[in-house]
Each structure stands twice: as C-alpha cells, then as structure tokens.
Structure 1
Amino acid sequence: MKVLVLAIDRDDDFGKKAGVKGPVIGKGKCIDAALKLSLADPEDSDANVVYAAVKLYDELKKSGEFEDVEVALITGHPDVGIKSDLELARQLEEVLGKFPAEGLIPVTDGAEDEQVFPILSSRLPIVSSRRVVVKQNETIETTYYVIYRYLKEILSDPEAARVFFGIPGLIFLLYGVGKLLSVSYPQSMDIISNVVAGVILLFIGGYAFTKGFRIQVFRALVNEFVQVIFGVSGLLIIIAGMINAYVNIDAYAQQLLGEVPPPGLIKLILYVHSINTTIIIGIAVILAGRIVQAYLRKTSHIWYSVAGILILPAFWIIVDITGRYALSIINFHSLATILEISAAVVDVIFSVIASTFIRRYFIHWASGGEIETGAGDQELRVAQETT
C-alpha cells in the first residue's frame, strides 16, 4: 500500500511568510521549506508540522509497514474558507498525480487545519492522522480557533450581533454618558446612576420579553400600528389602575367593609375586586384596537374581538359578585344579587346569539359580498365556504 504523509497549512503561512509555494513534495524539499518558515517566523507552529511529517515519514520508511511512503506539504490561501479549501484540493490532486497514493496520513497543528479532513477523505482513505503539539500550544491554538470561529459567526449574523455586541455596547455607552455627566454634576451622581441602571434594565427586560413571547416590535409598529397604540393604551390603563388600587386599598377597604383588614387573603381578594373595573376597561380598549385594525384590513376575524367586548360585562359581574361574596358583603338570596346574576346570564346568551349573526355578517363582508336585506342561506353558506 502506498501512503502519503501530508503536512497541511490551510492559511498559507508558508507562502505569506517564507515565499514557499505549494505543493512541496519530497523529504529534502519539505525540510528546506520548513527551514525557510522557521527563519522567517520562529514562533510559527506550521514549520513544526512539516518537521513532524518528515519524522513520521522516516519512521514509516524504517518500519517497512507500507509498500512505499512519500511526504508532501500542501498550502491553502490566506482567505480561510472556500478559497483555501479549493486550493488545498487542487494541490492534493497535483501531489497524487506525481505519487499515486492509496492511503493518507494528514499531519496538522490544530483544529483549523483538521476542518479539511472531509475533503481529503473524499479523495482517498485516511489511514491515520497526527496532530503536532508544540509544548502546551495545542490548547491555546484550539481555543483561539474556536473563539475566532464563533466571533466570526456572530458578526455575520445580525440577530446574534445585536445580542452579543449591541446590548453590551449600549450598556457601556450609557455608563460612559453617565460618568461624563457625573464629572460636571457630581452632586447628582446617585440620580444619574439610577437612571442609567433603570434604562439598561428596561432595555434588557424589554428585549428578553419580546424575544420570549416572539413579539416583533418593529414589524408590529409598521403593520399593526393602530392595534399597537390601542394595546399599549389598554396596558397603561390596567397598570395605572393596579397602582391606584394598591395606593388606595385601605380607603377602599374602609368604604366597602368599614374597616381595614390585616395583610392576608381578605386583603388580596379586596385588591382583586378593586381592580376589576380597570382591567375590564383596559381589555375593552385592547379589543377595540383589534377591531379597528381588523376593519382596516377587512379580515373576517374581526368578529372574535366584537364577541369578546360583548361578553366583558358578564365577566365584570362574575368577578364583582364572587369578590363581594368572598368578603361576606352579599349573599346569593338577595334580590340585587339575583338580578346581577340574571344580567350576567342574559349578557352571555345575548353574546352567543349576537356573535353567530356577527360572524356570518363579517365573513360575507370580508369575502367581498354586499349584505342585502333578506339574503338567503345559500349566499351565507357560499360566503362561509370561501373562508
């Protein structure tokens, strides 16, 4: 079996530093090439790769394990990647044209050169491989290559670049601005520090929130501007109501119960009861935004939001009754409670019936048809089938 001991220099240090053009075939020529690189850059480990290949060549020659053995050096290109790998494949073909090997033993100095093993194995079988370790330099080069590769991938991916460079860059920028301001206004250092920390946490938290819930903010602002405005308004109403209820919880308890309960389950129920109206109003605003956006886009799913608004009064009544019952303010035998429950039931029934007709109307409307008085079931069925 004819075996080729092949030293690999993927990034062409031999060409850049020593002016050696690959491929280099033969023991003497390989030693000359290694000497030139050692004189040009004594710290370059690629020269040691060639020396190791020559040493392995001598050992295999002496052992007589193989029918014939040859040693060669192939060099790639400074632009590591497709260009360098194509050059290595071309030089390998040239070497095999002069020495038709049946097996291959590649010799490298780290993980980067080993990336070409699939190219080599596609041409002829790899009998064995040898990695050259120069003292403790193997770990350093492998670590450097891994870091370099991932940094390159991060920089080429806009999304990853924003996370790994954009956010830390914003943090350093804000802290830098804060430090500069503190020089001119040292008395306001605490305020500046808190503002900077708050902005950083707000940005990082907002980014994590939008990514976690797959909310595409910029696309939503462009494509669903009305819905975003109504949604933000609804959330602000809910948040403001929750804060107001928390601040005035004692006054509300005094008004409703005649006393302020200690912290515990009763106070929690009281708090939920106090924010009931605010939450319903906020949800109604959010649903109104969805209705306006759906109307502008002429989509049949507008009926979902309309049905949601119709059933909100029943939801408010249920929360109100259960909250007051839990606080022992009312009982289910009083006329007022029975009337409220009846109103909730009526609202649910009305919402279901109205939603059925609203759905038919908007399906027909979204399909481009015109609603006419006395339209038959056949027309409605056709409109439904188009959705």
Structure 2
Amino acid sequence: MAKIIVIYIDIDDDLGEIGIETPVIGENAVKSAIETASEYMVYDSDFNSMVAAYNTYKRLKKQGEDVEIVFIAGSKKSELEAQLAFSTKIDDVIEKIRPTEAIVVYDSPEDAKAIPIVQSRLKVSAIQQVIVEQHRGVEETYMLIGRYLKRAFSEEKFSRIFLGVPGLIFVLVGIFSLLNLSYYIGPVILATIGVAMIIRGLRIDEEIEKWWENSVIMVITSVISIISAIIGVVSLDLEIQSVKISTFSQGLDLVLGTLLPYFTFAIVVLFSGKAISKAISRDIRVWHDLIKVVSTIFMYYIIFDFLDEIGRNQFLGTETLFTLVVSSAVIISSYIALSFVERYKITKT
C-alpha cells in the first residue's frame, strides 16, 4: 500500500510568527497547531488551508489509506532562504516518514513555488489550492483593510513596495526642491514608479537578492556602475543646456565625449567585479573578464582618437585605423592563446 503524506505549505513562515515551529508532524501535533492558529489567525487564509489539509487527512484515513499529515514552513528572510529552509525540512520529513506520494495543500502563489521542490522528491498525486471567498459588511471591510495595511508596514516583502517606493519619491522630491529643480519632480516621480513596477513585475529584486547572497562584490560593483552611468547622463544634460550645437559632428563629439568616460568606468568596474568574484572562488575562467576589461579600455582610447580626428576633420584617419587593427589583433591573439591554456588545464584535471 502506498504511504501518503498530506503537506500543508507555508513558504513565508506565517506559523513561525505565532510560535509554531515546523515541521509539524502527526495528527496530534497538527491539531495542536490548528488550535494555536485559531487564536491568532482565524481570519487568515493560512488557517483555512491548515484546516483543509487536516480534513483531507481525516477523509483519507477514514477510507483506510496509510496516510500522515505534516505542516512545513519556509522562512521570512527572502524567497531563496524560504525555499532552502523548506527543502531542508521536507528532507527531514521524508527521512522520518518514508512516504511514497504526497498531496499538497496551499493558498497563495508564493506557496506554490514550493511545489516543484516536493515534486523533485516525491510523486505528487494531488494539489489543492484553498481560496477563501468572504462576504463582508462595511465595518468588516475596514477591518480587513486595516489588517492588510498592518502587513504592508510590518512584513518585508510588502513594506518594500508600500514604504520603500513612496519613501524614495519623497527623498527625491526633497533633493530636487533644494536644488531648485522643481521642473524635474514630475518626470522623476513617474520614472521612479515605473522603475519600481518593472523591478517588481519582472522580479528583478528577487534576482538581486540571489545575486547578493551569491556574490556581494557583484552587487556593490553593479551599484557603482549604475551611479556612474546616472552621473554621465546628468552631466550630458548639463552640457547640452550650456552649449549650442550647430553641426552633427559637434553633437556627436559632445555626446560621446561626455558619456564615454562614465560609461567606460561603469563597464570596467562591472567586469572587474566579476573577475574578482571568480578569482575568489578560484575559477579558471577569470581571464574572460580580464580580457573584457582590457578590450573596454582599448575601445575607450580608440573612440577618443576617433573624436579627436573628427575635431581635426580627419574622419577615421591612419592613426585610429592603425590603433584599431593592432589592438584587435592583440586581443584576439590573447583570447585564442588563453583558450588553449584553459582547455589544457581542464583536460589535465
């Protein structure tokens, strides 16, 4: 007979907030957890999911199935930490119970992210999402809004949006007002909200969290690169306002001459950070990023020579062409030589 385990998933560890440590294994422990939850979160969808999981367990037990129930939570810290914590706990549960298949009960899209973790270890025979439909009066609706506002201020994943974005907007408005740049306040607010929507919509913040946990150096260098690029754009705007552009070559010289140092610095810092990160982990492919740093510096000087020749009305003269050919040959030759060295090292090991 198959050994079935009914798993209630609480990936963001709401149970931990009310003092319930997971995994909670067995009927008696689960009943005790539900009683505790009924005192603190009776109106929460998590409580309804716990009850639904317990009812599913009871129904299967009455049918004579070999079944066990367990509540497993993740972590509040981050999405990655939550999934890692859940993985560790489900491994412990599987080792203790030795189930052959699982029935998963959850309520939120965040909890659903743990389902693939279960599927990688057990056959999932059924998945149940608990959706609570509630009809409330006006007073109850205000209470519900108040409860969600409390979560917006106290829970990290909500406070990032509901506090972080407005806070950033207020700071930018204050700075621009002090600098007498009130004209830019409207566009800055729209841009800030737009960037926040893009970051959250594409889950860039979650990727940054993973990036930070894997390589702090890369995050720091990325921030420096972004700041450098922003300074370059602001400098270009100030230059355009102070200089009258009469020809295309003059405009090209102004744009590239202003942006190039800042963007080159940003790219060099980014590739250097990646190289340092690989060097720390003793990755032999560190030379890939060093080649990119050297190539970027070469290109910087080539473009500046090109701009200098434009100023002297010598478009793509012999100096720039010679520098371009020689630098390209050196970089390509170095890349080929280092590729052979890398292959030899890998084959030898």
TM-score by length of 2: 0.51
1:198 aligned onto 2:183: yes
Measured in 2, the distance between the counterparts of 1:26 and 1:133 equals 25
Measured in 2, the distance between the counterparts of 1:237 and 1:52 equals 70
Partner of 1:283: 250
Contact 1:363 1:383 in 2 (8 A): no
More displaced stretch, 122-131 vs 31-40 = 31-40
Measured in 2, the distance between the counterparts of 1:205 and 1:73 equals 43
SS at match of 1:105: strand
Measured in 1, the distance between the counterparts of 2:58 and 2:8 equals 14
Identical pairs, percent: 24
Whichever residue aligns with residue 185 of structure 2, its letter is I
Q: Map of 1:1-387 to 2, 5 A cutoff?
A: 1-17=2-18, 19-63=19-63, 67-136=65-134, 149=157, 152=160, 166-167=168-169, 169-171=171-173, 198-200=183-185, 216-219=229-232, 232=239, 236-238=242-244, 279-280=246-247, 283=250, 286=253, 299=301, 301=303, 304-305=306-307, 308-309=310-311, 359-361=317-319
Measured in 2, the distance between the counterparts of 1:89 and 1:284 equals 57
Measured in 2, the distance between the counterparts of 1:55 and 1:285 equals 71
Measured in 1, the distance between the counterparts of 2:326 and 2:82 equals 63
Whichever residue aligns with residue 232 of structure 1, its letter is E
Measured in 1, the distance between the counterparts of 2:248 and 2:50 equals 77
How big is the shift at 1:309? Answer: 4.6
Contact 2:306 2:320 in 1 (8 A): no
CA 1:4 to 1:81, structure 2 compared with 1: closer, same or farther past 3 Å? same
SS at match of 2:42: coil
Measured in 2, the distance between the counterparts of 1:11 and 1:58 equals 26
How big is the shift at 1:119? Answer: 1.5
SS at match of 2:113: helix
Measured against aligned partners, the alpha-carbon deviations of 1:97-137 in whole angstroms (never above 9, x if no partner) come to 34321111111222222221121111112111112223349
How big is the shift at 1:300? Answer: 5.1
Measured against aligned partners, the alpha-carbon deviations of 1:195-251 in whole angstroms (never above 9, x if no partner) come to 7752425767999xxxxxx99352478xxx8xx69x927x6443xxxxxxxxxxxxx
TM-score by length of 1: 0.47
SS at match of 1:130: strand
How big is the shift at 1:307? Answer: 5.3
RMSD of aligned Cα (Å): 5.3
Measured in 2, the distance between the counterparts of 1:99 and 1:81 equals 27
Measured in 2, the distance between the counterparts of 1:129 and 1:167 equals 42
Q: Larger Cα Rg: Structure 1 or Structure 2?
A: 1
SS at match of 1:43: coil
How big is the shift at 1:56? Answer: 0.9
Gaps of 5+ in 2: 136-144, 193-225, 262-297, 332-349
Measured in 2, the distance between the counterparts of 1:232 and 1:30 equals 68
Q: Give the number of aligned pairs.
A: 247
Gaps of 5+ in 1: 156-160, 178-194, 208-213, 239-277, 312-353, 368-380
Measured against aligned partners, the alpha-carbon deviations of 1:156-205 in whole angstroms (never above 9, x if no partner) come to xxxxx8x8864564347767x8xxxxxxxxxxxxxxxxx77524257679
Measured in 2, the distance between the counterparts of 1:203 and 1:120 equals 44
Contact 2:74 2:82 in 1 (8 A): yes
